[in-house]
Structures are given as structure tokens and as C-alpha cells.
A = this chain, B = another copy of it.
Amino acid sequence: MGRLVVSCPDRPGIVAAVSNFLFEHGANIAESGQYSTHPTDGRFFLRVVFHRAGLQAMREELEQRFAAEVGRPFGMEWTFTDPGVPKRAAIMVSRYDHCLLDLLWRARRDELDLEIGLVISNHPDLAGDVRSFGVPFVHIPVTRDTKAEAERRQVELLAGNVDLIILARYMQILSADFLDAVGAPVINIHHSFLPSFAGAGPHERARDRGVKLIGATAHYATEDLDEGPIIEQDVVRVTHRDSAEELERRGADVERTVLARAVQWHCEDRVLRDGERTVVF
């Protein structure tokens, strides 16, 4: 099994070129999704899952040929991935345990195509929980004064070692330098239905405003706090009876579900970035 993800300027012949290439190299397409942002002047996105006996042995050659015959001629960005190789992930977390534990459970149950190699926290509280899963836990405290140094240590642990970083309610803002240096996509879970109630204390504000649904948003982290391409969102119904604490509790259930979905879709290479938006196949 192999997976090929492509984006490029749209023009006629892309699907024919890719499917011919795969057919000629003995691959059978099992699943595919495609999308173009505009009928005549758009950007084209493609995700193909294919079977090919002996793929491992010929992988490098396949990729080189694809580059020469299809990728470069069409001006593509492309990636071949192996669905059998789970993504290497690290989780960053502060004190709330719900998203963290949910990911650890799901990973242990093989519900997620990833291996959680490391958990980093700015608080020591969750060390026992994490280590009981056989996952290393590193405590890196962060204060205003030590933030740059703390990020340097985080990057040392992460850069090159992981394919994905998951902020499972990590309550520190990451600098643009960190995002550059770490060299892997970062998925964040925001405890509100963005763009409503961006920023801190969303549940208090949701209660004050008397909303009837609260939600959560999983998105790729960017420099701008509470911005970045949205991967998944969901909501849950609330009433005037729910206190801010109850909203937070109900919100926690949505957060962990939304984050788990976003992470799994990312690990299956279903999420492609289209500027400030995502294409989710």
C-alpha cells in the first residue's frame, strides 16, 4: 500500500498523468479524492491510495521517476507516504488531562496511525499518567523569562524526531521561531467554536452571551493565536442551566473528539493546506 498526495495549479491531464504513471508501475488505485478550487483557474488537490506488491523495494526509484515524469512537469508539490509506517508524534500539554489521555488510549488501542514518542509539559502533574502508558514525559517549565530557553529545549527534543506535534491543551503561546525551527506540522485544539470566543475564557463568555451550543476547533497552529487553517469543528448543545464549569466539562468532551478526528485525518494524509483553509479528503 502507498499513499500519494499532490497539489498543483489545475490544468487538463493531471489525473490521467497520475493514474497512468501508477498503472504503468503496477499500482492499483484503491481510493482517491480530488478537488479543484476553481473550474478554470484553480489549485488542484489529489490524494490517492494504491496497492503495489513489492512497493518497499522499489520505493525510491518510484519516487524519482514520478518526480521526473509527472511531478516536475506539472509543477506539483507531492508526497509519497507509506500507510504502514505510523507518524511519529509528540504531545505538548499543560494541566488538563482529557485530550492527552484520550490520545494515549486511542494510540494504545491502535485507533490512530501514530506513535506517541514523547510528551512535553510545562507542568509536572501528568508525568505519572503519561509514563503508565510507557511514554516518556519531559517537564520543561516555562516562565516569561525562560520562554526562549524553554522553546530551545523543546526544539532540541522535537526537531527531526517527530512528524507531528499535537497541542493537547498546551496553554503557552508558541513563537514563530519555534514553529519555524521545529519543522513539523503542529495541530492545536482550541476550546471554542472559532471564530466565536477566540482568546481566553471562552466558556465564561459563552455563558454570558447565552449561546445554546458550545464547541471546539482543531487547527494547524500558526503565529497568530486562535488562527490557522481549521481541520475540524464540532458543537454540543447547552442550556441556561449550565454553569461555566459545566460548559467547560461538556466542552472537554467535544475537544477530545474533535482533536482525535483531526489527528487521525492528518495521520492518514487526508488534510491538505489551501492557504488559510484546509481540504479534508
Q: Give A residues with C-beta under 8 Å from B.
A: 10-16, 19-20, 22-24, 26-36, 39, 51, 97-98, 101, 105, 109, 111, 132, 193-197, 208-213, 215, 229-235, 239-241, 249, 253, 257, 274, 276-280
Contact = CB atoms under 8 A, between A and B. Distances in A.
B230 A276 contact: no
A233 B237 CA distance: 9
How many copies of this chain sit in the oligomeric assembly? Answer: 4
A101 B97 contact: no
A33 B15 CA distance: 12
21 contacts: A12-B23, A12-B27, A13-B28, A14-B29, A15-B23, A16-B16, A16-B20, A20-B20, A31-B35, A31-B36, A39-B51, A193-B213, A195-B209, A209-B277, A210-B277, A211-B230, A212-B231, A213-B215, A213-B235, A239-B280, A253-B257
A26 B279 CA distance: 27
The 4 tightest CB contacts between A and B, nearest first, are A210-B277, A16-B23, A16-B19, A12-B28
Nearest to A105: B101
Nearest to A277: B210
With a 10 A CB-CB cut-off, give which of A98, A195, A208, A279 has the most chain B CB atoms.
A195
B240 A280 contact: yes
